[in-house]
Amino acid sequence: MGTRIVVIGGVAAGPKAAARARRLDASAEITIVEKDELLSYAGCGLPYYISGLVEDRRQLMATPIGVLRDPKFFAQVKNVRVLNRTLAVRIDRAAKAVEVVGVESGESQRLPYDKLILATGATPVNPPIPGRDLRNVWQLKQVEDADRFREYLQRVEHPNVAIIGGGLIGMEMTEAIVEREGSVTVIEMLPHVLPMLDADITHLLEKHMRDIGVNVLTSTRVERLEGNGDGCVARVVTSRGTFDADLVLLSVGIRPNVDLAKEAGLIIGPSGGVYVNDYMQTSEPNIYAAGDCAEKSCNIRGTSCFLPLGSVANKEGRGAGSNVAGHIERFPGVQGASALKVFDWNVGRAGLSVEQAEELGIPVISATVSAPDRPHYYPGNKPIILKLVAEKASRRLIGIEGVGPGDVLKRIDVAITAMTARMTVDEVANLDLAYAPPYSEAMDVLIHGANIARNKLDRLLRGVTVTELQAMRQGGEDLFLLDVRSPDEHQNGCIPGSTLVPLGAVRSRLDQIPRDRPVVAYCKTSLRAWEAACILAGQGYTNVAILDGGFLAWPFDVCHGA
Ligand SMILES: Cc1cc2nc3c(=O)[nH]c(=O)nc-3n(C[C@H](O)[C@H](O)[C@H](O)COP(=O)(O)OP(=O)(O)OC[C@H]3O[C@@H](n4cnc5c(N)ncnc54)[C@H](O)[C@@H]3O)c2cc1C
């Protein structure tokens, strides 16, 4: 008899583990237990199925050649038995068996195992908002949820949708609903959307969404949902007013499914997921856990974390599958990488934001760089704004985030590779990245960013972020805001209160730039501002900073210069 491997959970980590174990061990008896009907589907593709970009739900659960990954497929191709519509209700560690119950039949059976893999995933948080039970107040987790959204958005003309929660799913669904000609109000309790990024970067995204017509409300608490008498939701009452909505998406986070593990006495880690070691083993050596239910070890923080992502779930599933089949593999932990598309903008991040580093008490500097993703002369170049976070003591790159219509993700992925190799910004600045004009600048924007970080670490350059500058302005600080762009650029839009002295005129018009007030210089990307700051330093100015990322990174009020 072969090794008996039981896998609980049949979406990402579970099927990946089962398939890997089968490839390594032809004689194993492998069973997947899944409480729902569908399995091995691409949950990450659901917003694109809802928007209509993906035409058929089958595409989300078929192989690249169109074969449906159903129980028959798993039996015939993988020799893996699938018990779907079957709930695992108890793990008997002493007897090494899982008790399962048929969802329709109610019949129970015991599945003996030699190795057990928990891939039970996570469940959306259900916030206790009054009115939560009204009709058309939905969450998005499974294909069936996506079917409901899609059907509604196809049937109702110009739906008015409130999205409660400005996280990854909330952002992706905003785009999907606008694609379906709906109007969207995003309501986020925190001061900015995508809380794992810094405010200066997310404010740019919020501005872009507002420019498209999305109503983005931050620092806004939902107080209750109200109906219109027929049981359907009609309004969202918030701390900043009442908004009509005929459909509400609740998307306020998810929690790992750990009840089975907890009841079996397995250790649950501080982040709420099942504790696993680097080999995906739980506190019981014959029981493994992978995917959203399992705790991750975060390489940069050096602590455990909860990171519910398909990218990680698949790799962990593969690792668990290898290990139960006796081919020992170590999973080295995560960098906290994530990516998303919001309309025509790309967003990515990994490692620590400045806000997170401050919470952890890690002294850091940040460098924000705005630049085209390819040379300015090459057709189709698009801007990106990247923010690098470097640890002061070690000079290591420990965080990266970026937004914009350009190719942000290429830079994020290079930065993640550098962070995995524990590179300093000095090493990143000299990475021998491939270059030709259709792909990047000769000095890629990531390398520019690393050089800015080096200049800041070496105290050659002082910068203020857009949020710091805004706070200074709102606090009435007596600073001199110096725009060193051309008169045309200034006329087309500038930061209110700034004085135009084009770069070429800085040396001859020093009398117009005060020496006794803090000066903040800016241009489109802050490259010319850096030149200006160097000129002023050479002339004895002692309090000059540049605006990190320049005017391209400015998300606040703009006026048209005199
Ligand atoms: C709309 C949306 C968009 C997303 N976009 C991205 C993205 O762009 N990038 C990214 O990396 N990630 C994304 N994700 C996250 C990604 O889908 C998840 O991280 C991934 O599905 C986790 O896989 P998993 O196998 O660990 O858990 P799950 O997908 O949650 O699957 C767990 C399965 O276990 C079953 N189960 C639980 N308990 C039991 C039990 N007791 N008995 C039997 N069965 C049980 C559940 O029914 C479920 O089917 C997205 C998720 C959603 C919902």
pLDDT, tens digit (0-9, with 9 covering 90-100), for 313-367: 999 999 999 999 999 999 999 999 999 999 999 999 999 999 999 999 999 999 9
The residue whose CB lies within 8 Å of the most ligand 1 atoms, and thus the one to mutate among 31, 34, 44, is 44
6 pLDDT above the threshold of 80: yes
Residue 244: its pLDDT value, please? Answer: 97
What is the distance between the alpha carbons of residues 554 and 532, in angstroms, rounded to a whole number? Answer: 19
Tokens standing for 419? Answer: 């962070």
Which of these, 333, 345, 254, 263, lies nearest to 299 by C-alpha position? 333
The residue whose CB lies within 8 Å of the most ligand 1 atoms, and thus the one to mutate among 104, 138, 259, 292, is 292
pLDDT band at 184 (very low <50, low <70, confident <90, very high): very high
Question: Is 44 part of the annotated catalytic residue set?
Answer: yes
Q: Which residues line ligand 1 (CB under 6 A)?
A: 8-14, 33-36, 43-44, 46-47, 87-88, 119-122, 140-141, 169, 257, 260, 291-292, 308-311, 313
What is the distance between the alpha carbons of residues 310 and 318, in angstroms, rounded to a whole number? Answer: 12
Summarize pLDDT for 457-513 with one digit per residue, the tens.
999 999 999 999 999 999 999 999 999 999 999 999 999 999 999 999 999 999 999
Count, residues in the chain: 562
Residue 562: its pLDDT value, please? Answer: 59
What is the distance between the alpha carbons of residues 356 and 270, in angstroms, rounded to a whole number? Answer: 17
Question: Could you tell me the distance, in angstroms and rounded to a whole number, from the CA of residue 424 to the centre of ligand 1?
Answer: 35
What is the distance between the alpha carbons of residues 398 and 401, in angstroms, rounded to a whole number? Answer: 11
The angle, 0 to 180 degrees and rounded to 10, between the axes of the packed helices 408-420 and 445-457 is 50
What is the distance between the alpha carbons of residues 285 and 304, in angstroms, rounded to a whole number? Answer: 19
Phi, psi values for residue 551, rounded to 5°: -65, -30
561 pLDDT above the threshold of 70: no
Summarize pLDDT for 57-74 with one digit per residue, the tens.
999 999 999 999 999 999
Q: Report, as an integer, the average pLDDT of 269-282.
A: 97
